[in-house]
Amino acid sequence: MTYNPVAISALAKDVVSFYDATPTKMIWVSPNGSDKNSGTESSPFKTIQAAVNAAKPGTAVMVKSGTYKENVELNKHGGTSDNPVWIVSADGKGSAKIVAASDTKPVIVGYGENNLVIKGFELVGGTEGIKLTQSGRDLTKMTTNIVIQDNIIHGQSIDGIKTAQSVNFAIVGNKVHDIKTQEGIDNVYIRNSVIANNEVHDVRGLSGIVVKAGSENVKILDNYVHDVPDGILVGGFSSGQGSTFPSGLKYEAKNVLVEGNLVVDASKHAVNVYGAINSQITGNSLSNAGKQSVVNVSTDNLGYVSQGIQITDNIVSKTSWLTSKPNSVSGNSGNTTTGSFDPNSVGPSALVETVTKPVTPPASTTPVVTPPTSGIPIKGLLGDWTESGSTTKVFKGGSGADTLKGTAGNDHIDGGAGADTMQGGKGDDTYVVGSRFDVVIEKPGEGIDTILLWDKSYTIPANVENLIIKTSAGATVIDNGMDNMLTAGAGKDTFVFTAGHGDDLIRNFQVGQDTIQLDGSVAASAIKVAQTAAGDLIILDGADSITLTGVAATTSLASVISNLPVSAKPAISVVGAQGDWKDGGATTKAFKGGNGADTLKGSAGNDHIDGGAGHDTMIGGKGDDTYVVGSKFDNVVEKAGEGIDTILLWDKSFTLSDNVENLVIKTSAGAAVTDNALDNILTASVGKDTFIFTKNHGDDLIRDFQVGQDIVKFDASVSLADIKVAQTSAGDMVLQHGEQSVTLVGVDAHTDLASLF
């Protein structure tokens, strides 16, 4: 995967508020720079500290390759909840190395910092690699909204990563090793956070990963921990009552989920629960090397108890694997000494990185234009291509599903996060599209309009002329019936053209990187080549054309068109929406269960019902209800006609309950989901998901399906030969079997069926 220094893992999406933020400025640092410089890429600072001191909200501190000997103090130079500060290794993971100038201080330290991303560094020496804690006392001025991602941290005397009095942290994809006295990742009073896909090893002190001292609502997922004393420790005391903590604070950790981790060669316990409440240890592979139990559940040395601990579906290395205090474990099933665990599902290498917006638009190279070539016909401009005018007014949405309406002037409309609806007017409007589910509305004749695309795929809406790919991760763009002007990004872009859709132009096309796809109705004999007066390649298909500026007319078509036909291909029929699909409304009331087998009943409104730990029964009502399902044994009860209901699935399998329309897979470990008889909207996760469809169960739709990762299964009575393929007007694949269908949003209709099953 191409490294993007400002990309944030999908695991942080539900943790930090700035997940979809865009850097608005960058400050550069180089070993060859000077702190008297301006901080531009051509005039970089020499020290990271100078850049941090100059950073304002929305700034990305871009640190070039090399070694920096300093202890970086953040000094309240964080961002805001919408505009964080990025401090990142610009040229790749570990390419920027920070070596502690003083071994008595952390390499990076902050007190009461907020809204930061620290990514991609190698951090060597010091007391801690990264230390972030409160600046006040008694849990005041805590540190919040932080992403610590893709760092290599080693050689510290105390901890690799230390967080204390922290809220909304994502600690993901880091490698931590060779820690001398305490923990690899040490978390004291951390809440509403995720610790995932890290590798921690060769810790000579206490534990690999720790959440203790009042920590709550923490997910420890898919980490690889090995060659440590205790692997993962949940609960336990900390010093500082009456100063760091209020005197009356109880130290038990609560609602901690330990799932999908691989712990091997622990010299003590693979998992040690040391004063925790209502927590789950599930789906892990756990082993230790000594005589102690694989899992231990006890009180800490101050007498804080453990209770409501569920230990299920783990692979353990010993038959006598558990020691526990009386009444501390409330669930213990499915644990076995046999079974398979995929080691490729854990650690940094398994981390799925959601590429966000780059710091600046990618610099386009100046193409070398080939003079007109004899023998290739020369044509004038075939399309009516025009740039949009300068913006006169700006509109910005929030984090929800916004509806924004512009003026009669030249509007710049950015819906922000969420699936937004944006409507311009009579001027030349520019739309920032961060999601392929964004809707842009333009009427005929209302100016020259442009899309700025930050997502990985999009179909140009009706009456919009131009599109610029802004993401550097690559995108797939489908034209419309107008003469489109398309601009490639820095990544591998794909441009899909439909017969009869006019004369299009592509700028910044990179031969050997970018590709063109023609729809399946185009025959080889229909494709002709021409050139502009400047020698640019023109691809002709009957009345349509594609002009590639800067690409020589002598370029082989096979290097440009990925599906160059050798003979006519049958067209794939276009169908309308097959199902009655709707999203639920916003929540009006929330219900939360405890650690037992709860029965929760909602109201007549739009309820959010979370049964908590245990095998719960959740009953909604007439509104649009949302259910948090943490176990496949949870029971969701809905009657027919009682709103549009949605399940948020955190377990590894579930069959959609009767009268529930939609399901979103939330676990990053992957899940198997079985549909029901309704028209379902199913949303895939970042993991390997399986969608199981029963014969004659209606028309379903899958969002975020990843070809080559996710799988579609029909019941045994349906063979591959029985399935017919159609496409939506946007080119999405539709699998049809009789009156049943499955629509795969964002999956090209020409995708090989064998890659889906």
319-363: per-residue pLDDT in tens?
999 998 888 888 889 999 988 888 888 999 887 554 444 444 333
DSSP for 510-542, written as a single string: -BTTBEEEE-TT--GGGEEEEE-TT-EEEEEET
The candidate with the shortest Cα–Cα distance to 117, out of 141, 94, 151, 142, is: 151
Residue type for position 546: I
Question: Low-confidence residues of the chain, pLDDT below 50?
Answer: 1, 240-246, 248, 354-375, 379-380, 566-570
At residue 577, the pLDDT reads 72
Residue type for position 91: D
134 three-class SS: coil
Residues 492, 355: Cα–Cα separation, whole Å:
13
Q: Look at the chain and count its residues.
A: 757
CB-hemisphere CA count at 13 Å for 126?
27
**Residue 669 carries which DSSP code?**
T
Residues 174, 182: Cα–Cα separation, whole Å:
17
Report long-range pairs for 339-342 (Cβ below 8 Å, ≥24 apart). 339/315, 340/315, 341/262, 341/285, 341/315
Question: Which residue matches tokens 């440009």?
Answer: 560
Residue type for position 620: G
Number of neighbouring beta carbons within 10 Å of residue 1: 9
Residues 175, 95: Cα–Cα separation, whole Å:
14
pLDDT tens-digit readout, 285-327? 999 987 899 999 987 655 567 889 999 999 999 999 999 888 8
- Beta strand pairing call for 732-737 and 740-748: antiparallel
Residues 590, 608: Cα–Cα separation, whole Å:
5
Alpha carbon distance, N-terminus to C-terminus of the chain:
24
Is the distance from CB of 408 to CB of 428 less than 8 angstroms? no
Q: Rounded to the nearest 5 degrees, what angle is found at the Cα of 730, between the Cα atoms of 729 and 733?
A: 90
Is the distance from CB of 467 to CB of 451 less than 8 angstroms? yes
Is the distance from CB of 496 to CB of 477 less than 8 angstroms? yes
Burial class (CB in 10 A: 0-12, 13-18, 19+), 137: middle
Two tokens, residue 153: 């941290």
pLDDT tens-digit readout, 20-34? 788 889 999 999 999
The candidate with the shortest Cα–Cα distance to 380, out of 515, 503, 480, 497, is: 503
The candidate with the shortest Cα–Cα distance to 220, out of 131, 123, 296, 286, is: 286
Number of neighbouring beta carbons within 10 Å of residue 497: 25
pLDDT tens-digit readout, 199-227? 999 998 889 999 987 788 999 999 999 99
- Beta strand pairing call for 503-507 and 544-552: parallel
At residue 356, the pLDDT reads 40
**From residue 588, how far is each of 606, 625, 637 by CA, in Å?**
5, 9, 19
Is the distance from CB of 523 to CB of 513 less than 8 angstroms? no
At residue 612, the pLDDT reads 86
Residues 572, 658: Cα–Cα separation, whole Å:
34
Is the distance from CB of 536 to CB of 548 less than 8 angstroms? yes
Residues 586, 547: Cα–Cα separation, whole Å:
46
Residues 487, 465: Cα–Cα separation, whole Å:
12
> Rounded to the nearest 10 degrees, how much is the dihedral formed by the CA atoms of 105, 110, 112, 117?
-150
Q: Which helix (H) or strand (E) element contains residue 719?
A: none
pLDDT tens-digit readout, 83-136? 999 999 998 899 999 999 999 999 999 998 999 999 999 999 999 999 998 775
Q: Rounded to the nearest 5 degrees, what angle is found at the Cα of 518, between the Cα atoms of 512 and 521?
A: 150
Residues 75, 183: Cα–Cα separation, whole Å:
25
The candidate with the shortest Cα–Cα distance to 342, out of 371, 315, 374, is: 315
Residues 176, 472: Cα–Cα separation, whole Å:
29
At residue 422, the pLDDT reads 92
At residue 371, the pLDDT reads 43
